């Protein structure tokens, strides 16, 4: 009767309903039975004993940059190993639907720290599509591991229609014909089942390459008229806008958030980046829930995206996106491919005065706290500085300014100086409040991007750990059932995807975890070479004992740190079309 039986596990259905010990039968990729009584195991191909374990829907990751990696390794196994079975592509206005390889390299290379040459070659060599429909067909021809969904990127359609150069000039407006063509591209993507469009107004996301280097993303040049016309299509189709406002301009945030309101028009689903407890501006965290509550009470359908774990990042030398937010840092990153020129710049005293001036500005909107006393050196040819902060190194060297201590080491050792800092989400009690807030969506993993800086593939498991530990300590801030719902069914329902639930008739995307290993091992970092990027080492977490089994559409794909032998040989994942359930 069943292809797979999962027996005696604590079952969570993804709705937030009370969990219970149940036996689950799976047939043809769907849940066929959920029973308190044992199921008939006759002729069952796989029986999984889940006694003492939690059985829940596979998690949904709503913010990734796997658009390039999925072409090179369609299994996306780094997410599967942490229990993510549905992955949304196309975040931050970036997708590969319409742009060519060169433009894709310029769009992704610097913003998302994906090696430029691999972006170019992957798109140029593997692109067989010229529309959203043919893109979906191309993805479904690959041996997908996880299920996929997608936004179409505003920068993608703008650059493809206007050309990357014209689309990133402040004095150039799209013609009426170009606006209509962008509208058609968005409409076609929604017809193909995309969950919506991503757009970006954040001004420290910069282009790579030579022609348009250090300009901001194409979507940041769009005027209100263009944004309104594209948003109108999303409104009428009840699809979502993922947006990134410019943190330096409050009016940008207000305008993007207020676009959710439906006064004399349909409301718009809007999810903005991002609700965070920013070290640099500790009071701002109170504003995010307030804005969300006000907008939703006025009839909007608004959410903040939030990473429910500390936002700890690593950097090799000065190669960290947060330096883009001030002039001297952006000037150094502008010289990414000119090592000697960069070294000369960082050694120049006039430049250093500029950097110190930027560093000492402690007021105003910003992401990085700009405190080199809160930046620990983890690797360096000079072993005497390892474990110290740059600020302490300056003190040890006779009171050298922290900026000079940092720049001295980078000039001498370049990217061999590796360091880390936590930018936001550092206060557990604030994290708990945000994680439980109904105006907040849990995601923003950035999976597939920032290979050397850190993305957060296992954010869902780390949330469950915190919820579980709080419950065990008698200080719960939400139930485990609610936490499971937050990273599964709640997200799938809002984006209108056939995922995130584990009831009879539902897609059999299943995560089985051992709660005993919801422990500190989830926070440990490791290095994982990526063959598709010439074995560039990716910063990852490893928690192999926690995830005992992952199934996608009823097929076993991962467990205890090991891939299924069939992963990558057969397609287990599907492209999930918004609005088409069951």
447 versus 363: the higher-pLDDT residue is 447
What local confidence, expressed as pLDDT, does residue 462 receive?
A: 97
> 82 with 547: CB under 8 angstroms?
yes
Residue 250, phi-psi category: left (phi > 0), alpha (psi -120 to 50), beta (remainder): alpha
Q: Which of the four pLDDT bands, split at 50, 70 and 90, describes residue 250? A: confident
pLDDT above 80 for 307: yes
- What is the spatial distance between Cα 264 and Cα 254, in angstroms, rounded to a whole number? 19
Q: What is the mean pLDDT of residues 82-106?
A: 98
Phi, psi at 270, each rounded to 5° = -130, 130
CATH fold of 58-239+274-310+425-500 reads TIM Barrel (3.20.20)
pLDDT of 432 = 96
The predicted structure's pLDDT at residue 249: 80
H helices of 455-551, in order, are 459-472, 480-487, 489-494
- Site of tokens 């703008």: 158
Which residues, in sequence order, are CB contacts of 208 under 8 Å at separation 6+?
A: 105, 106, 107, 108, 109, 110, 111, 116, 336
What is the distance between the alpha carbons of residues 167 and 106, in angstroms, rounded to a whole number? 13
Round to whole Å and give the CA distance between 336 and 210. 11
CA distance 481 to 13: 8
Q: Look up residue 322 and give its DSSP letter.
A: G
Mean pLDDT across 282-304: 94
Name the segment(s) of the chain with CATH classification 3.20.20.140.
Answer: 58-239+274-310+425-500
- Distances in Å between the Cα of 138 and the Cα atoms of 77, 80, 122, 127 are 19, 21, 13, 8
Q: Residue 310 is encoded by which pair of tokens? A: 């500390």
| Average pLDDT value for residue range 30-43 | 97
According to the model, what pLDDT value does residue 337 have?
A: 60
Q: 357 pLDDT exceeds 70?
A: yes
Q: Are 40 and 26 in contact (CB under 8 A)?
A: no
- Residue 502, pLDDT above cutoff 90: yes
Over the stretch 503-550, which tens digit does the pLDDT of each residue have? 999 999 999 999 999 999 999 888 899 999 999 999 999 889 999 999
Give the span between the Cα atoms of 352 and 96, in whole angstroms: 38
Tell me: pLDDT of 137 over 80.
Answer: yes
């Amino acid at each position: 009767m069943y292809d797979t039986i999962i027996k005696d596990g604590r079952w969570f259905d993804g709705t937030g309903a009370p969990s219970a010990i149940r036996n689950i039968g799976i047939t043809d990729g769907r849940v066929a039975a959920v029973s308190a009584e044992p199921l008939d195991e006759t002729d069952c191909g796989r029986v999984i004993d889940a006694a003492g374990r939690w059985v829940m829907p596979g998690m949904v990751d709503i913010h990734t940059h796997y658009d390039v990696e999925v072409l090179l390794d369609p299994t996306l196994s780094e997410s599967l190993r942490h229990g993510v079975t549905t992955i949304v592509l196309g975040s931050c206005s970036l997708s590969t639907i319409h742009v060519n390889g060169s433009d894709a390299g310029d769009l992704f290379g610097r913003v998302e720290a994906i090696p430029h040459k691999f972006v170019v070659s992957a798109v140029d060599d593997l692109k067989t599509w010229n529309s959203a429909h043919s893109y979906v067909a191309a993805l479904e021809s690959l041996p997908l591991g996880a299920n996929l969904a997608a936004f179409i990127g505003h920068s993608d359609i703008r650059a493809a229609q206007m050309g990357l150069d014209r689309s990133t000039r402040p004095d150039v407006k799209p013609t009426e014909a170009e606006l209509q063509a962008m509208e058609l591209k968005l409409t076609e993507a929604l017809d193909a089942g995309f969950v919506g469009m991503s757009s970006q107004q954040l001004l420290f996301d910069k282009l790579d390459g030579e022609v348009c280097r250090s300009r901001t993303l194409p979507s940041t040049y769009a005027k209100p008229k263009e944004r309104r016309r594209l948003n109108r299509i999303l409104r009428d189709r009840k699809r979502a806008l993922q947006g990134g406002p410019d943190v330096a301009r409050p009016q940008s945030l207000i305008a993007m958030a207020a676009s959710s309101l439906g006064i004399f028009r349909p409301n718009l689903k809007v999810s903005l980046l991002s609700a965070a407890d920013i070290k640099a501006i500790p009071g701002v965290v109170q504003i995010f829930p307030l804005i969300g509550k006000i907008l939703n009470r006025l009839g909007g359908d608004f959410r903040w995206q939030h990473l429910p774990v500390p936002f700890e990042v690593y950097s090799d030398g000065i190669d960290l996106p947060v330096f883009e937010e001030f002039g001297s840092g952006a000037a150094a990153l502008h010289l990414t491919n000119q090592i000697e020129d960069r070294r000369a710049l960082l050694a120049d005293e006039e430049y250093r005065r500029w950097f110190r001036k930027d560093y000492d500005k402690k007021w105003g909107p910003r992401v990085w706290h700009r405190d080199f006393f809160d930046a620990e050196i983890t690797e360096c040819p000079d072993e005497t500085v390892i474990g110290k902060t740059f600020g302490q190194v300056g003190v040890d060297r006779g009171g050298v300014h922290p900026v000079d201590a940092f720049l001295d080491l980078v000039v001498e050792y370049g990217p061999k100086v590796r360091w880390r800092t936590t930018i936001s989400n550092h206060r557990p009690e604030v994290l708990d409040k945000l994680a439980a807030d109904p105006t907040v969506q849990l995601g923003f993993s950035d999976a597939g991007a920032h290979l050397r800086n850190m993305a957060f593939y296992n954010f869902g498991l780390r949330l469950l750990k915190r919820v579980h530990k709080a419950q065990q300590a008698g200080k719960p801030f939400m139930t485990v059932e609610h936490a499971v719902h937050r990273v599964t069914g709640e997200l799938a329902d809002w984006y209108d995807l056939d995922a995130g639930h584990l009831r009879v008739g539902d897609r059999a995307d299943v995560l089985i975890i051992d709660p005993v290993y919801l422990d500190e091992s989830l926070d440990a970092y490791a290095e994982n070479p990526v063959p598709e990027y010439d074995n560039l080492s990716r910063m990852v977490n490893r928690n192999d004992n926690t995830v005992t089994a992952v199934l996608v559409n009823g097929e076993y794909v991962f467990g205890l740190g090991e891939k299924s032998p069939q992963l990558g040989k057969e397609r287990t994942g599907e492209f999930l079309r918004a609005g088409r359930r069951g």
